[in-house]
Amino acid sequence: LQAGAITNKGTVYMQQGNYPEALESYLQSLKIYEEQNNKHGLSASYGNMAIIYSYQNDFERALDYFRKASELDRQLNNLPGVAENLTNMGSLFSRTEKFDTALIYFNGALQINTSLKDEYSLTNVLGNISQVYMNAGKLDSAFKYCEITYKYAVKTGNVPYQANAVFNL
């Protein structure tokens, strides 16, 4: 409970844009989870820290923490967590214009989310894939994935993704 409360405090700091305090809170909760050997908590802490480093454009450190979180999620057989971390890693590579690598991570998340029949997460990953193709100038592929994203967004009632897909189309 204490680690969870500290994590919540870190999330508030993160939402306020106070990244040093958020990171400090996540490090405090990480220490507690390590003492308890709580792999679920460790994974969440690593993921939160990765997000902070991503916001600070420290992509190497963010990638390292997303990988740590993903490895723990694999050990725990937490497939939604693995897929989320793969998506986050794909986003890092997309932001640094390493489009082929981004697609490898996004496609890994796509496979997991497909097997889980997680249509909401599929919408997110498909939208990311379409964006990579647009940024890479591969407009035929971008168009195809925008159409698929739109269909899933309608199916799941995800209005922001519907709007984004229409805008991109």
Alpha carbons 15 and 132: distance in angstroms, whole number? 27
Per the confidence metrics, is the pTM higher than 0.95? no
Average pLDDT, the chain: 97
Burial class (CB in 10 A: 0-12, 13-18, 19+), 156: middle
Tens digit of pLDDT for each residue in 62-119? 999 999 999 999 999 999 999 999 999 999 999 999 999 999 999 999 999 999 999 9
Query: Among 34, 26, 30, which Cα is nearest to 9's?
Result: 26
Q: Fill in the amino acid letter for 153.
A: A
Distance, CA of 123 to chain centre: 13
Q: Quick one: tokens of 48?
A: 């939160």
The average pLDDT across 6-19 equals: 96
Q: Where are the beta strands (DSSP E) in the chain?
A: none
Tens digit of pLDDT for each residue in 116-165? 999 999 999 999 999 999 999 999 999 999 999 999 999 999 999 999 99
